[in-house]
Amino acid sequence: MANVLSREMPLTKAAAMVDRSKIDVRLDVHDASRVEWTVTLPCPKEHDLEYELDVQLEVPANVFAQHSPWEHLQSWTRLDRPKAALSPGETVTTDELRKVAVSYAQKLSRISDKFSRECRMFAAITNLAERDEGSAHRLVELVDDASGRIAEARMSLGEVTEDVLGRERALVDEFLSVRLLEMLTAADKSLAMVEDSEQAASFGAQLSIARARLDDVLVHEIDHRNKCGYVHVSLTSDATVDAYLERASRLKKHFQEVLFLEREVVDFAKRMYHWSAAAAALAASTWAFAWQLLVTRDAVIGAGVGSGIIVLAVVGGVVYATKDRLKEVGRNWITGKLERMYAQQVAKWRVPARISPARDVIVVARESFDQQVVHRADPLNPESGVAVPFTLIRFTHRGTLARSTTLDAQGIRRIKHVFRYDLSPLFARLDDAVKRVPTMCPDTGRVRFATAHRHYRVPVHVHVAVGPTLIRHDADLILQKNGLERIEAPTKHDSIPA
């Protein structure tokens, strides 16, 4: 997944209360249809921590498709920093084994990120003298570090038996094996990127050292999986690949589930809908009854009884029709005002009972979605006065993170919010993914057709405020007919909406 680096506002002296190193904000492409943003916050030690998350997507009006944003948002919150390792002879539970497994999996993820950075730095060096053997040895050290972490975890697990803990230990071993294979696969991709670069011929001998070590660790891990009877992948059978991916997905959910907080949602908008409807109906009925009394008193009786009844009927119909309209408009107005002042829904996250029987509430947040049409200057000629319409999708999350002695005693230092938004409703409105563009062939002088991929840009802005600390991510989502492709730095003409 691609990640866009944040631009941080200068911090004031008051920001010393918040450990900036424990705040992490990321914006990624999760898969072909979902964009993901994550916010990691430090658990407060003394006072509750208030924070605010604001996410905005600017979708071109010509490709926007009406949809309910809540139905396309996924969110959950989990604990960060689980149990680091097991002590020799320590009595453990299945939950503690899961926490240790997730801890080692996170270490592998960090090693994978370091390997990717080293490869990019290695490929960026243009001076051959600077490409010493140390650059390649750093890659080898990272591969050895990953292999050593897995060996360390397996030694601390203890003997695999037939009881519940024994079976959980076997699952831990298989889960870590899968995560190691994922790390090595990502490392192979990063290494292949360097090997395919234009300068690869000049430093291929150095990369062969890292390639050989990477292959050795892969072969060793695959042999270990075969000995343990784990799912085996065959190049000639798609069924084995599918079985491996399904098994990997189940293992990931099995172990990460231990970190998730329990979520409770109160739909504030629906609750207030009935109250606002009753208030609007009361006001409209009072208005209609007053008019009814006025019209009845002034109705013409006697000789003009026929025309008076007609007038009374027409006026009464207008009054009651207006009453229904007033009720509808009043209800929407009151509901909208309350949502803007408070929130559309209130979410709470509790510690699971297996961690704390008291099930303490850790986070309380007010969440809202808003959609509106905004206009931006035409990027082709900003000074021409021509405006381009965009549909602005805005998600706000204002929360309070409470102090928890239970989590503090267990060494939990941070919580992590994960949000994923599905943009698949837009893809049907996009133009064909591939187009043909005519061009002149310089060799023959004849016209040829090049294949061009039609891309769209959706500016995304993620703002996180924790006390006086403000972190901003500004990026462009690159879309095409087949889905999301990547995240890039924003173009110069894009601006952050107020």
pLDDT in tens, 89-102: 555 677 778 878 88
Q: Is the pTM of this model over 0.75?
A: no
- The residue type of 177 is S
* Mean of the per-residue pLDDT values of the chain: 76
* 289 has a pLDDT exceeding 60: no
pLDDT, residue 8, reads 43
Comparing 1 with 81, the larger pLDDT belongs to 81
Query: Exposure of 426 by Cβ count < 10 A (0-12 exposed, 13-18 middle, 19+ buried)?
Result: buried
Contacts of 290 (CB under 8 A, 6+ apart): none
Taking 80 as the threshold, does the pLDDT of residue 286 lie above it?
Answer: no
Whether the predicted pLDDT of 67 surpasses 50: yes
Please write down the HEC assignment for all residues of 309-332.
Answer: HHHHHHHHHHHHHHHHHHHHHHHH
The least confident of 200-209, 251-260, 281-290, 448-457 is 281-290
Average pLDDT over residues 302-318: 53
Contacts with 333 (C-beta within 8 Å, 6 or more apart), sequence order:
280
What value, to the nearest 5°, has the Cα angle with vertex 370 and ends 56 and 493? 30
pLDDT for the residue numbered 84: 58
> Distances in Å between the alpha carbon of 44 and those of 51, 400, 461?
12, 10, 27
Express each pLDDT in 317-348 by its tens digit: 555 556 555 555 555 554 555 555 556 888 88
Residues 6+ apart with CB under 8 A from 420: 30, 34, 35, 36, 73, 74, 75
Spatial contact of 206 and 191, defined as CB atoms under 8 Å apart: no
- Which residue reads 């680091």 in tokens? 84
Task: Give the confidence band of 3 by pLDDT, cuts at 50, 70, 90.
Answer: very low
Q: Check residue 463 and give its pLDDT.
A: 93
Is pLDDT above 50 for 15?
no
* The predicted structure's pLDDT at residue 110: 86
> What is the arithmetic mean of pLDDT over 165-193?
88
Q: Which of 2-16, 59-73, 418-432 has the lowest mean pLDDT?
A: 2-16
Residue 288 has pLDDT above 90, yes or no: no
pLDDT given for residue 130 in this prediction: 53
Q: Are 284 and 326 in contact (CB under 8 A)?
A: yes
* The pLDDT of residue 179: 92
Give the model's confidence band at 481: pLDDT under 50 very low, under 70 low, under 90 confident, else very high. Answer: confident
Tell me which residue has tokens 């072969």: 219
Pairwise pLDDT comparison (287 vs 473), residue with the higher score? 473
Joined tokens for residue 230: 């784990």
For the CA atoms of 408, 260, 39, 34, the dihedral, rounded to the nearest 10 degrees, stands at 170
**Residue with the larger pLDDT of the pair 122 and 429:** 429
Q: For residue 6, name the pLDDT band (cuts at 50, 70, 90).
A: very low
